[in-house]
Amino acid sequence: MRSPFRRSETTVAACTIGAVSDRADPNATIPAAGPAAGGRRGSRGPKKVGAVNLRDVAAHAGVAPATVSRVLGGSRHVNPDTRTRVLAAAAELGYVVNGLARAMTGRGTRSIAFLTAEMAGFTFGATAAGAESVAAENGHLLLLCTTHGRAERERQIIATLCEQRAAAVLLVGSSGTDRLYTERIAGYVRDLATVGSKLLFCGRPGLPGLPEVRSVDYDHVGGIKAAVSHLAALGHRSVGYVGAPRGGTMPDLRLDGYLMGVRENGLEARPGLVAHAQNTIEEGERATPLLLDADRPPSALVCMTDNVAVGAYRAARARGLRIPEDLSIVGFDDAPVVGDLTPGLTTVRPPFRQIGVDAAEIALGLRDGDTDVLLGTSLTVRGSTGPVRA
């Protein structure tokens, strides 16, 4: 039934085709093929081997390097004729400005970095897409880095980003909250400042000890509270929570939201209604029975994430419980396909793409103001929640 994972390699003959480039003179763009520019008309010096540079263009156009720089750098104050001549020379030689050299003079566009624990997962992709979109529209590149949750790797990446002079670093996703962690981040902030860069939190709240670091986040607490209120409105009095224990920004806020929602709606409140599960389907499947098999099982469950909720589906099903007749379930994230589960999952949808957009805009200084950003969430109601059984 299960075909083996095999690996095969196919050989490909190395040869060259003759398709047409956009360049006026494709020959001039071929690298490491002897004197790049000089080869064509009036070579100067036998040294050059690399790509054609600004000086080559200047010589070819019969002007000074400074003039070429002005034309390409978009300065006004250039004679139209000169401009035309320079542009023609550049095109003819297939000149490509060296962004590295330009950056050294403070003129180049520095990249912005997207730093997260893991790249897999839906939430990451949407947020990164938002950030990339803003970066690209403004001529910047987006650097993608993952720490795999290892401090040492994180430290190494920040060091590399400092060396490469990233314009800004977006720290994305949940994080620790302890003093040691705050101090580590404070070190990054200082290191980045040294090279004229800065740190931004994205998809996580600010750190109390680090108020000068801006944060772009969505309303975890409000989202969960809306979920609890939704269940309360359906008549549920005993609502359980399945999610990670305190220790990270995301788990903390979502648990807070649950506790506040329970209090504000006057629902049953006791420790026995909370079960601990990390953010995976398997963990949700493992932890949910702790609630379902207890003495007074809840009639509804709020889950920290959709992953956990899917685990809860499994556990409910394994017990022959019908959703939502016997058990209502709410998730958080609105991941793909969860709407097509049976029944569709009611879940909180955060504006993942938008926090990426906002964070990038702030990172690039496209936005004024000196305030944190907190975006709202919306509740997507599907079939997994229903009236409490009479």
Partner DNA sequence: CTGAAAGCGCTTACAG
Residues 317-356 that bind a copy of itself (CB under 8 A): 335-338, 340-342, 351
Contact 301, 274 (CB under 8 A): no
Other C-beta atoms lying within 10 Å of the C-beta of residue 355: 28
Unique residue bearing structure tokens 């390699």: 9
Interaction between residue 373 and a copy of itself (CB under 8 A)? yes
Q: How many residues bind a copy of itself (CB under 8 A)?
A: 119
Interaction between residue 101 and a copy of itself (CB under 8 A)? yes
Q: Which stretch binds DNA (CB under 7 A): 16-24, 90-98, 311-319, 371-379?
A: 90-98
- Of the candidates 194, 132, 131, the one whose C-alpha atom is nearest the C-alpha of residue 165 is 194
Q: How many residues bind DNA (CB under 7 A)?
A: 32
Q: Which of 211, 245, 365, 387 binds a copy of itself (CB under 8 A)?
A: 211
Interaction between residue 149 and a copy of itself (CB under 8 A)? no
Interaction between residue 105 and DNA (CB under 7 A)? yes
The entry of DNA, a copy of itself, none near residue 42 (CB within 5 to 8 angstroms by kind) is none
Q: Which stretch binds a copy of itself (CB under 8 A): 61-69, 138-146, 252-260, 289-297?
A: 138-146
Instruction: Kindly state the DSSP code that residue 119 receives in the 8-state scheme.
Output: S
Q: Which stretch binds a copy of itself (CB under 8 A): 183-191, 247-255, 265-273, 293-301?
A: 183-191
Rounded (5°) CA angle 215-221-224:
135
Q: Decide: helix, strand or coil at residue 241.
A: strand
- Of the candidates 42, 82, 46, the one whose C-alpha atom is nearest the C-alpha of residue 64 is 82
The DSSP bridge partners found for residue 331 are 347
Contact 119, 142 (CB under 8 A): no
Q: Using CB under 7 A, which residues numbered 38 to 67 contact DNA?
A: 47, 50-51, 53-55, 62-67
The entry of a copy of itself, DNA, none near residue 77 (CB within 5 to 8 angstroms by kind) is DNA
What the block records as the tokens of 93 is: 């030689």
The entry of a copy of itself, DNA, none near residue 63 (CB within 5 to 8 angstroms by kind) is DNA
For residues 310 and 277, give the distance between their C-alpha atoms in angstroms, rounded to a whole number: 12
Q: Which stretch binds DNA (CB under 7 A): 3-11, 96-104, 122-130, 326-334?
A: 96-104
Angle of the 65-73 helix axis to the 80-93 helix axis, nearest 10: 90
Interaction between residue 98 and DNA (CB under 7 A)? yes
Unique residue bearing structure tokens 């690399």: 50
Interaction between residue 107 and DNA (CB under 7 A)? yes
For residues 84 and 79, give the distance between their C-alpha atoms in angstroms, rounded to a whole number: 9
Other C-beta atoms lying within 10 Å of the C-beta of residue 374: 16
Unique residue bearing structure tokens 């969860």: 338
Residue whose CB is less far from DNA, 70 or 236: 70
Q: Using CB under 8 A, which residues numbered 105 to 124 contact a copy of itself?
A: 108, 111, 113-114, 118-122, 124
Residue whose CB is less far from a copy of itself, 17 or 390: 17
Residues in touch with DNA (CB under 7 A): 47, 50-51, 53-55, 62-67, 69-70, 72-73, 76-79, 81-83, 95, 97-98, 101-102, 104-107
